[in-house]
A and B are shown apart, each in its own frame.
Chain A
Amino acid sequence: MSGYAHFDIRIPIGALFALLGGILTVYGAVTWSDQALYQRSESIVINFWWGAVMLIFGGSMLYFGRRAMKRLKVSA
């Protein structure tokens, strides 16, 4: 039972998407008024909006992953 118990897979998923999403959101906010950049994405500031979606996904994965690991420690 070694592999899984050490750390919950939701932690790396959460970390990856929180990081990627965070970077994209900030980049999207900085480039918000760059019309030339967003011409190809139908004038949607896709970096900001999709970055935010990923940030929320990553954050909730981290939350549930950490909660599961705490429970594991308590029961052990």
Chain B
Amino acid sequence: MTHLTPIDYILMLVYFAVVLTVGWMLRRSTRTSTDFFLSGRSIPSWVAGLAFISANLGAQEVIGMGASGAKYGIATSHFYWIGAIPAMVFVGIFMMPFYYGSRARSVPEYLKLRYDEKTRSLNAISFAVMTVMSSGISMYAMGKLFNLLLGWSFDVSILVAAVIVLAYIFLGGLTSAIYNEVLQFFLIVFGFVPLVFLGLRAAGGWSGLQARLAQISVERGFDPGALTHAWRYMDDPSRNPIGVEWFGLAMGLGFVLSFGYWCTDFLVVQRAMAADSMAAARRTPLIAAFPKVLFPFLVILPGMIALAVDWHAPGFASQVGIAGGQGIIPPKIDPITHAALLDQTGRVVLDYDLSVPMMLIRFFPSGMLGLGLTALLASFMSGMAGNVTAFNTVWTYDIYQTHIKKGASDQHYLWMGRAATVGGIGLSILAAYVATSFNNILDLLQLIFAFVNAPLFATFALGMFWKRTTGHGAFTGLLAGTIGAAIHHGVSLAAGSVVGVKGGYFGAHIIYRSELGQTFWTAIVAWTTCFVVTIVVSMLTRPRPEAELTGLVYGLTPKPHEADLPWHKRPTVLAAVVLAAALLLNIVFF
């Protein structure tokens, strides 16, 4: 366990004080439900863009991507360069005109405008459940981590974080969440840049890191370069640590999961909807894509460095109570015997989720340590806040106003939004206590996305680009896609996994090399099922008249103008630049 000094606590308190002050100062400008749920559509694009990226920069990102860096090496950047950038460009260029232009107040509401009530309700309810769960997982992970690292009480850390998040959203609504997400973005950058700098210095620069990781790669049974090349070993699942081949990666992650998340998840899309104009809304995901291209160096590298460096003083690891393991990553401890866990081959199982926290403890003295841990806390809290603001909006507009109380006054819905904030956080706390342990938070979240989100992009893509798609088609397709995902997951299993939550409950007929491989293919199956079923059912049902689809479907909507904007504000120019940057990085780290 590490002991913090007063200076570390002072830095944390400064952050909490600023966060609460922001909420307090925004309370007066939160007068209508549009202020509360959509920031009055008044956010400039750079603020919306940073919030867009921060809402996603929760615990699963910072801890999970560091963990994946240690597990998979630089290939983890596929989650960024192929698994995020193309989708972020797509949502900005092609989809935002419909989201923002239709004046829908939420993603489910777009489904109502384009299709019908049942499709919206299906999406709204599954989304509401998912956000509350994600927020709960975020809390759970935070409570567990700070208990392990600093000996804080699990209950107290969850409660304090929940109360702070509750306070600033309750007061300032989405604007408050967005402001704090931007604060958190800068905190993460300022907390992690020196970490990477010091880490790389200790590891002997990139070449020193490469040399050390080559040894580890060979120990794990791969070619020396498997941890430091993104694409070179993607020809066969057995040759790379991710355990997946390029097609499953490109289609499953790069297309289905990535587009399903970035293009349809209201958590991120809400930030763009809050922008102050159509052009600003389109720029939001594109501006977000610029830092996203560079994030691998901030969040993945620390995990890789954690494998390659040692504690600064002999015996330090036992002082913090975590001897053994590899580099500075401790072994996973059996909760009953308190001994290090071993896998079937007798090798020590590493607790990868501790890679990033251990890096902070290893390299930061008192002072900077406080800053680094504050950045981590901030990312947990803003991950929670992102989910809660998306939840209260979908609950109030898509569930409450639609099914429970229609036609009430705006003040009533504003009140409901605040009540839903309290309720959502209460449910998240509940979910946090229900959450069970998974080695990699990312794997679990990806699994949930695969079932519910993977078919979604087919529904949106068909809805936006094919006017013949009908509500019945969309609804049946969504259900079929989710069921398809569950069936595929049920008949497949990752090598070494146990039948149950990991799949195989209908018999393990297909064996994947890794859980991620299984997840990617589950997504591909879900998407394809939804795509085919939606088309077939749409052809059999009556289409909506074209006049009703103006502003909702490509081809029936006037294209947004951008010729009058200066070049650096044109969405297409930004898109081209960021795509070129992602391509370049893929080539450099090929």
Instruction: Specify which chain B residues have a CB less than 8 angstroms from the CB of A71 in the assembled complex.
Output: none
- Complex Cα distance, B472 from A5, in Å, reads 44
Residue of A nearest to B180 (CB): A12
- Complex Cα distance, B270 from A13, in Å, reads 22
Residues 70-104 of B contacting A (Cβ, < 8 Å): none
Give the number of chain A interface residues (Cβ < 8 Å).
34
Interface check B30, CB cutoff 8 A: yes
How distant is A1 from chain B, measured CB to nearest CB, in Å? 5
- B18, B35, B365: the one within 8 Å of A46 (CB): B365
> A3 and B175: CB pair below 8 A?
yes
Interface check A44, CB cutoff 8 A: yes
Which of B8-16, B237-245, B553-561 has 4 or more CB atoms under 8 Å from chain A?
B8-16
Q: Given A16-B18, A17-B190, is A3 in contact with B363 using a C-beta cutoff of 8 Å?
A: no
Instruction: Specify which chain B residues have a CB less than 8 angstroms from the CB of A62 in the assembled complex.
Output: none
Interface check B251, CB cutoff 8 A: no
Residues 1-50 of A contacting B (Cβ, < 8 Å): 1-7, 9, 12-13, 15-17, 19-20, 23-24, 27-28, 31, 37-42, 44, 46-47, 50
- Complex Cα distance, B370 from A19, in Å, reads 14
Write the B390-413 contact mask toward A (1 if CB under 8 angstroms, else 0). Answer: 000000000000000000000000
> B365 and A37: CB pair below 8 A?
yes
> A20 and B364: CB pair below 8 A?
no
> B42 and A1: CB pair below 8 A?
yes
Instruction: Specify which chain A residues have a CB less than 8 angstroms from the CB of B42 in the assembled complex.
Output: 1-5
Interface check A54, CB cutoff 8 A: yes
> B276 and A40: CB pair below 8 A?
no
> A39 and B312: CB pair below 8 A?
yes
> A4 and B183: CB pair below 8 A?
no
> B364 and A41: CB pair below 8 A?
yes
Interface centre among B40, B43, B201, B371 (most CB of A within 10 A): B371
> A9 and B47: CB pair below 8 A?
yes
> B179 and A24: CB pair below 8 A?
no
Residues 159-195 of B contacting A (Cβ, < 8 Å): 175, 179, 182-183, 186-187, 190, 194
Instruction: Specify which chain B residues have a CB less than 8 angstroms from the CB of A9 in the assembled complex.
Output: 47, 179, 182
> A15 and B18: CB pair below 8 A?
yes
> A50 and B25: CB pair below 8 A?
no
Interface check B362, CB cutoff 8 A: yes
> A7 and B31: CB pair below 8 A?
no
Q: Given A23-B10, A27-B367, is A7 in contact with B25 using a C-beta cutoff of 8 Å?
A: yes
- Complex Cα distance, B176 from A6, in Å, reads 12
Instruction: Specify which chain A residues have a CB less than 8 angstroms from the CB of B368 in the assembled complex.
Output: 24, 41, 46-47, 50
Instruction: Specify which chain A residues have a CB less than 8 angstroms from the CB of B313 in the assembled complex.
Output: 39-40
Interface check B28, CB cutoff 8 A: yes
> B14 and A27: CB pair below 8 A?
no
Instruction: Specify which chain B residues have a CB less than 8 angstroms from the CB of A5 in the assembled complex.
Output: 29, 42
Residue of A nearest to B15 (CB): A16
- Complex Cα distance, B370 from A50, in Å, reads 13
> B11 and A23: CB pair below 8 A?
yes
Q: List 18 A-B contacts (CB under 8 A).
A: A2-B32, A5-B42, A6-B26, A6-B29, A7-B25, A9-B179, A24-B367, A39-B313, A40-B363, A41-B198, A41-B363, A42-B201, A46-B194, A46-B365, A50-B371, A51-B367, A57-B186, A57-B190
